[in-house]
C-alpha cells in the first residue's frame, strides 16, 4: 500500500473516480487484496459494463463493497449473530460475507439471480474514500480480464483493461495479494466458499466450527457453491504443474523437459531459487512467510507471460493459514495438474 497517496476528500483523482462511479462508469481502484473494477451496484447499466470489460460470464455474481455499516442494512434482510461477530472482528478487511438480500435494491445483474449477496468493507484508504464519496454500494470484481490472474499493481489492470474502462486510481501495490475469503453466513454453520485473506483458523477462533465447501476439494465431482470457483483462472499462457517433492526432484523434471527441447520455468521461493537451473526461475516469496508468497503470487504468474517458456513447474505450500488460499489459486492456475515424487 502506497502510504504517500493523498486520501483527503479533495484529492482530485479520488473525486474524479467517485464522480465517474456516480455517472455509472467503471473505474479500477486498489483494495488491500487486489485491484477491483468498481461500478454503481444499483444500476443495471453500470454493472453490465463490468461484465463487458472483463469478459465475465453473466452467471458469476459480484461482491458489493461498502464503506459504512449503515449501507449494509439497506441491502440485506437480516444480519445473523455470527456475521456480526465476523464484521466486528475482520471489517474493514479481506472477508466477504454472504447475506440474504432485500429484493429490488441492487441491480439483479450483481447477484446473477442468486438470493444471497456477498458484501465486504475493504481495508484500503483509497477504496474506502472512493466508496464514501460516491455514496453508493460499489460492485467490484477483481480488475482483470476473466481467467487472468487478479491485478496487484495498476500496471496489471492496464495490461488487461486499457481502453475498456473509464479510469484507474493508482495506489501502488496491494497488500494481501490474494482475494478476500468468501463465507456464507446464511446457514447455521457458516461455510467458506473461497479461501482468501482471512484464514479458516482466524475465523474459527471467533465463531467456532465452520465448514469448507466440499466442491473446493473434489474438483470435478461436486459443483462449487460459489460460481466463480468453477472457472479456470489465474493461468499463465504456459501449462503449470504443481510439484510435491524435493528441489532435486523438481530440478530433474526441469532437466528432462529441457532434454526434450522445451524451455522450462520454475516458480520457486527465496529459500530454494538458487537450487534450480532452468530457463526462468522466479521466486514468489519466502517459504518461511506465506504472506509474502500470497503478496507476490499473481505478479509471478503474470511474469511468466513475458518470458519464453513452454512449461512451468511450481513448488507447493502447506495448507495452514493463508496457505489454503495460495494453494487454491495455484491449483486453479495449474488446472489441478500435480506431479508427486
Q: Which residues are annotated as a binding site for L-threonine?
A: 33, 65, 120, 140, 180
Region from 138-146, 201-209, 217-225, 260-268 binding Mg ion, contact rule CB under 5 A: 138-146
SS3 326: helix
| CB nearer to ligand TXA: pick between 119 and 238 | 119
| CB nearer to ligand TXA: pick between 111 and 133 | 111
103: closest CA among 79, 81, 83, 74?
Answer: 74
290: closest CA among 323, 268, 319, 316?
Answer: 323
Least spacing, CB of residue 142 vs ligand TXA, in Å = 4
Q: Which does 192 bind (CB under 5 to 8 A by kind): Mg ion, ligand TXA, none?
A: none
Query: Of all residues in the chain, what percent are helix, strand and coil, respectively (each to 5)?
Result: 35, 20, 45
Other CB atoms within 10 A of residue 217 CB: 12
**Strand pairing partners for 18?**
none
| CB nearer to ligand TXA: pick between 47 and 282 | 47
| CB nearer to Mg ion: pick between 229 and 324 | 229
Q: Which residues bind ligand TXA (CB under 6 A)?
A: 31, 33-34, 36, 60-63, 94, 96, 98, 111, 114, 116-118, 122, 140-142, 179-180, 182, 193-194, 226-229
Q: Which does 116 bind (CB under 5 to 8 A by kind): ligand TXA, Mg ion, none?
A: ligand TXA
User: For the CA atoms of the chain, what is the radius of gyration?
Assistant: 20
Helix axes 290-303, 154-161, angle to 10 degrees: 30
Q: Which residue is nearest to ligand TXA (CB)?
A: 228
276: closest CA among 266, 284, 286?
Answer: 266
Residue 340 · residue 272 · CB < 8 Å: no
Per CB under 5 A, contacts with Mg ion among 31-50 are none
Write the interaction track for Mg ion spanning residues 141-160; mark x where CB under 5 A is met and - where it is not. -x------------------
Residues that bind Mg ion (CB under 5 A): 142
Amino acid at each position: 500500500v502506497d502510504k504517500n497517496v493523498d486520501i483527503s476528500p479533495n484529492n482530485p483523482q479520488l473525486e474524479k473516480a467517485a464522480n465517474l462511479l456516480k455517472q455509472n462508469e467503471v473505474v479500477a481502484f486498489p483494495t488491500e487484496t487486489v485491484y477491483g473494477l468498481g461500478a454503481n451496484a444499483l444500476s443495471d447499466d453500470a454493472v453490465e459494463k463490468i461484465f463487458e470489460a472483463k469478459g465475465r460470464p453473466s452467471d458469476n455474481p459480484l461482491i458489493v463493497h461498502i464503506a459504512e455499516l449503515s449501507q449494509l442494512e439497506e441491502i440485506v434482510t437480516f444480519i445473523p449473530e455470527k456475521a456480526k461477530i465476523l464484521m466486528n472482528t475482520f471489517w474493514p478487511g479481506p472477508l466477504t460475507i454472504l447475506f440474504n438480500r432485500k429484493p429490488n435494491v441492487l441491480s439483479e445483474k450483481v447477484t446473477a439471480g442468486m438470493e444471497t449477496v456477498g458484501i465486504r468493507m475493504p481495508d484500503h484508504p483509497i477504496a474506502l474514500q472512493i466508496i464514501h464519496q460516491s455514496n453508493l454500494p460499489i460492485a467490484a470484481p477483481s480488475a482483470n480480464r476473466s481467467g487472468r490472474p487478479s491485478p496487484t499493481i495498476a500496471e496489471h489492470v492496464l495490461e488487461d483493461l486499457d481502453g475498456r474502462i473509464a479510469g484507474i486510481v493508482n495506489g501502488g501495490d496491494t497488500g494481501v495479494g490474494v482475494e478476500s475469503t468468501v463465507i456464507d453466513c446464511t446457514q447455521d454453520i457458516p461455510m467458506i466458499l473461497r479461501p482468501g485473506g482471512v484464514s479458516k483458523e482466524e475465523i474459527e477462533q471467533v465463531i467456532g466450527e465452520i465448514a469448507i465447501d466440499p466442491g473446493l476439494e473434489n474438483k470435478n465431482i461436486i459443483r462449487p457453491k460459489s460460481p466463480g470457483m468453477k472457472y479456470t483462472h489465474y493461468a499463465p499462457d504456459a501449462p503449470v504443474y504443481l510439484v510435491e517433492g524435493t528441489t532435486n526432484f523438481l530440478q530433474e523434471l526441469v532437466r528432462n523437459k529441457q532434454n526434450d527441447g522445451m524451455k522450462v520455468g520454475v516458480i520457486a521461493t527465496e529459500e530454494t531459487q538458487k537450487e534450480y537451473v532452468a530457463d526462468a526461475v522466479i521466486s514468489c516469496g519466502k517459504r518461511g512467510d506465506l504472506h509474502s508468497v500470497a503478496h507476490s503470487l499473481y505478479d509471478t504468474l503474470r511474469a511468466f507471460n513475458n518470458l519464453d517458456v513452454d512449461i512451468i513447474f511450481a513448488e507447493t505450500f502447506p495448507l495452514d493459514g493463508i496457505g489454503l488460499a495460495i494453494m487454491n489459486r495455484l491449483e486453479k492456475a495449474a488446472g489441478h495438474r500435480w506431479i508427486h515424487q
